[in-house]
Amino acid sequence: MNAGVLVAVLTYNEGEKLKRLVGRFPRPADYQVVFVDDGSTDDTLRFLQDTGLKVIHHGENLGVGAGIRSAVEYGRTNGFDVIVIMAANGKMLPEEIPRLLEPILDGRADYVQGSRNLKGGQSPNLPLFRKVAIRLFTMIVNAVLGFRGTDVTCGFRAYRLSLLEDPDIDISQDWLGRYEMEYYLHYKAIKKGYRVVEVPVSMVYPRGDRDYSKIKPFAGWWSMVRPWIFLVLGLKK
């Protein structure tokens, strides 16, 4: 096991998807895995505890940003150097974790963004509307940042934890509770001049399953858009 690498899996009411995902992790692995249960109301907590896996439990649903914050705090407290963030919904594949780690462990990156749109990446069964929206949103973000990214919405990412010691990067802010956190870190890493690399990954959507995302219309998209407004206009740190 690489004692310096923590893989944080964010989960909320994923049921059988979570159970299938757990079976895909290699044992032993070259990293430690921690599951952040964000107030699930199904049997998630009991399943993870019965399986003997490390769990951080939120008593209520606080959001993706809060989950990332809890995972980062755990990583810092326990001396990890690198953290990988992934969802427990089965779209992201544990066997691709080494792709995210390689640029950091080789000393080429501080932040690695997964991309389904790079050569070698894929997103089978991705709904057409979502595909168009992802590409459009990425184009807008690239224009704001002056960065030629290909998939800003992919939540499969890795960070060097020392990046989060930068005094200009404050993940404790209350407004970063949900999807804001991911885009806040993306903005800060690029604007602060950290080394950012994209790598190809898979985002596997369930065939014929309309329940492919927990992003709520309007509220969910607003939480993805507002970091760019707040940060570009200097309304938030």
HSE toward the beta carbon, residue 123, CA cutoff 13 A: 20
What pLDDT, on a 0 to 100 scale, did the predictor assign at position 220?
A: 72
CB atoms within 10 A of CB 160: 21
Closest listed residue to residue 181, CA positions, set 92, 69, 87, 74: 69
- The predicted-structure confidence for 121-174, as pLDDT tens digits, reads as follows 999 999 998 899 999 999 999 999 999 999 999 999 999 999 999 999 999 999
Whether 216 shows a pLDDT value over 70: the answer reads no
pTM assigned to the model: 0.94
- The predicted-structure confidence for 4-26, as pLDDT tens digits, reads as follows 999 999 999 999 999 999 999 99
- Domains defined along the chain, listed by start: 5-232 (3.90.550.10)
Distance CA 65, CA 15 (A): 21
Rounded average pLDDT over 166-187? 97
- Peptide bond before 28: cis, by omega within 30 degrees of 0? yes
Check if the beta carbon of residue 196 is closer than 8 Å to that of residue 110.
Answer: yes
In 87-116, which positions are buried (b, 16+ CB within 10 angstroms) versus exposed (e)? bbbbbbbbebbebbbebbbeeebbbbbbbb
HSE toward the beta carbon, residue 194, CA cutoff 13 A: 27
- The predicted-structure confidence for 55-74, as pLDDT tens digits, reads as follows 999 999 999 999 999 999 99
